[in-house]
């Protein structure tokens, strides 16, 4: 159960390991599993205790590099370097020796001996073009050491080589390479990034919708203005037509004949001649007649 949850839920794996220790503390595999559960949750003192116990029970040395790394985790890099020079290192297989070299270089970096860290990683395994399970991590560590030593121009090449060898995502070499090249690297499978991108897309779409609504309003206002202009033009045309009709109709005035009766005549001379004889009429304005009081 510890091994099954170690990658997915390290804290849960650690809790399982505590239970297993209470039940079978004299079983080497239980002590080793408990050591790794403590190691991945950064409980380095507990991890070192369990690894030492497992080594005593089995006599194996394959845990030596991770034990040295626990010393680093406990801020004792000098002890890690001392372990790198112990006879146990020669008993390690190739993968174990590469791991020990990585730990030793990390210890040099902890002590700010950056150039020494670069030299520590320089090895036939680093120079080899063959791809092994440790190749990506070794190249990545070398690139990091170069950057720490102020040799960033050389680091890009090794990040690129690490990314080429890293087929199962052991490192973030691709991201580091993108940073050097000034590119922004995002993980499409990251839910937080997906949610952020989704919000950005939604914001863009919302902005586009707002722009469309504003455009529709402008078009509608323009259409209303055209309709209003047409209505105003129609009203003016109607008024002009009425004015023409009024102008065509003779203008009327009130006149008084000899008998004192009011009669309607037209101002135009031709109209007056057509309807009345000027000799028979005394033409006065209505207001003049009323003011003079002749009719009253």
| Pair 41, 111 in one domain | yes
Residue by residue, DSSP assigns 270-296 as HHHHHH--GGGEE---HHHHHHHTS--
How far apart, in whole angstroms, are the C-alpha atoms of residue 30 and residue 24? 7
Work out the widest C-alpha separation in the chain, in whole angstroms.
Answer: 154
Residues 6+ apart with CB under 8 A from 55: 61, 63, 64, 67
143-189 residue pLDDT tens: 999 999 999 999 999 999 999 999 999 999 999 999 988 865 555 56
Q: Specify whether 30 is located in the same domain as 104.
A: yes
CATH of the domain at 11: 1.25.40.10
DSSP assignment of 40-77, as one string? HTT-HHHHHHHHHHHHHHH---TTHHHHHHHHHHTT-H
Contact indicator for 261, 281 with CB cutoff of 8 Å:
no
pLDDT score for 6: 79
Q: What angle do CA 64, 65, 69 make, to 5 degrees?
A: 115
**Cα(169)–Cα(86) distance, rounded to whole angstroms?**
32
- Which of 131, 161, 185 terminates a domain? The answer is 185
pLDDT of residue 42: 97
**What is the secondary structure of 143-201 as a DSSP string?**
HHHHHHTT-HHHHHHHHHHHHHH-SS-SS-HHHHHHHHTT-----TT-HHHHHHHHHHH
Please give the pLDDT value at position 274: 46
User: By the 8 A CB rule, do 162 and 143 touch?
Assistant: yes
Q: Which helix (H) or strand (E) holds 254?
A: strand 252-257
Segment (H or E) for 255: strand 252-257
Q: Are residues 194 and 241 in the same domain?
A: yes
| Token pair in block for residue 264 | 């309607």
Helix/strand/coil for 230: helix
Q: Determine the 3-state secondary structure of 263 from DSSP.
A: strand
Whole-number pLDDT of residue 175: 94
In eight-state DSSP terms, residue 90 is G
Q: What's the pLDDT score for residue 81?
A: 98
Residue 295's pLDDT is what?
44
Same domain, 138 and 283: no
pLDDT reported for residue 269: 46
> Do 19 and 158 fall into the same domain?
yes
Contact 10, 18 (CB under 8 A): no
Residue 181 confidence (pLDDT): 87
Examine the domain organization and report whether 147 and 202 are in the same domain.
Answer: no
Cβ–Cβ < 8 Å for 33, 68: no
Task: Give the dihedral sign, CA 12/15/19/25.
Answer: positive
Q: Are residues 262 and 175 in the same domain?
A: no
Both 43 and 17 in a single domain?
A: yes
Q: Tokens standing for 283?
A: 């033409």
Identify whether residues 12 and 135 lie together within a single domain. Answer: yes
Give the pLDDT of residue 71: 98
Tell me if residue 260 falls in helix, strand or coil. Answer: coil
Residue recorded with tokens 């070499």: 173
Residue-number span of the structural domain to which 269 is assigned: 252-292
- 224, 217 Cβ separation under 8 angstroms: no
Low-confidence residues in the chain, pLDDT < 70:
1-2, 183-296
Last residue of a domain, one of 147, 162, 185: 185
Do 91 and 140 belong together in one domain? yes
The predicted pLDDT at position 283 comes to 43
Domain count, the chain: 3
Mutual angle of helices 77-84 and 64-73, in 10-degree steps = 160
Do 41 and 162 lie in one domain? The reply is yes
**Same-domain status, 259 and 170:** no
Last residue of a domain, one of 185, 215, 239: 185
Q: 143, 173 in Cβ contact below 8 A? A: yes
């Amino acid at each position: 159960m510890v091994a099954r949850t170690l990658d997915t839920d390290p804290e849960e794996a650690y809790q399982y390991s505590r239970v297993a220790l209470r039940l079978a503390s004299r079983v080497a595999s239980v002590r080793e599993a408990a050591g790794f559960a403590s190691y991945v949750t950064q409980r380095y003192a507990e991890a070192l205790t369990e690894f030492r116990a497992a080594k005593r029970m089995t006599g194996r040395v394959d845990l030596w590099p991770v034990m040295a790394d626990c010393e680093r985790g406990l801020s004792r890099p000098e002890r890690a370097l001392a372990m790198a020079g112990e006879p146990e290192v020669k008993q390690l297989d190739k993968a174990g020796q590469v791991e020990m070299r990585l730990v030793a270089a990390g210890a040099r970096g902890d002590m700010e001996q950056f150039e020494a860290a670069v030299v520590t990683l320089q090895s036939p395994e680093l120079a080899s073009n063959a791809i092994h399970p440790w190749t990506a991590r070794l190249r990545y560590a070398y690139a990091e050491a170069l950057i720490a030593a102020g040799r960033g121009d050389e680091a890009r090449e090794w990040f690129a080589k690490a990314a080429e060898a890293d087929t199962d995502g052991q490192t973030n070499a691709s991201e580091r390479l993108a940073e050097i090249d000034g590119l922004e690297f995002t993980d499409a499978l990251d839910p937080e990034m997906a949610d952020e991108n989704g919000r950005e897309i939604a914001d863009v779409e919302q902005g586009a919708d707002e722009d469309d609504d504003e455009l529709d309003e402008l078009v509608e206002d323009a259409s209303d203005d055209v309709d209003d202009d047409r209505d105003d033009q129609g009203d003016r045309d109607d008024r002009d037509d009425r004015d023409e009709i009024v102008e065509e109709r003779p203008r009327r005035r009130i006149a008084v004949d000899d008998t004192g009766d009011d009669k309607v005549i037209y101002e135009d001379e031709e109209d007056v001649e057509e309807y009345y004889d000027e000799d028979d009429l005394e033409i006065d304005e209505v207001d003049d007649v009323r003011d003079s009081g002749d009719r009253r």
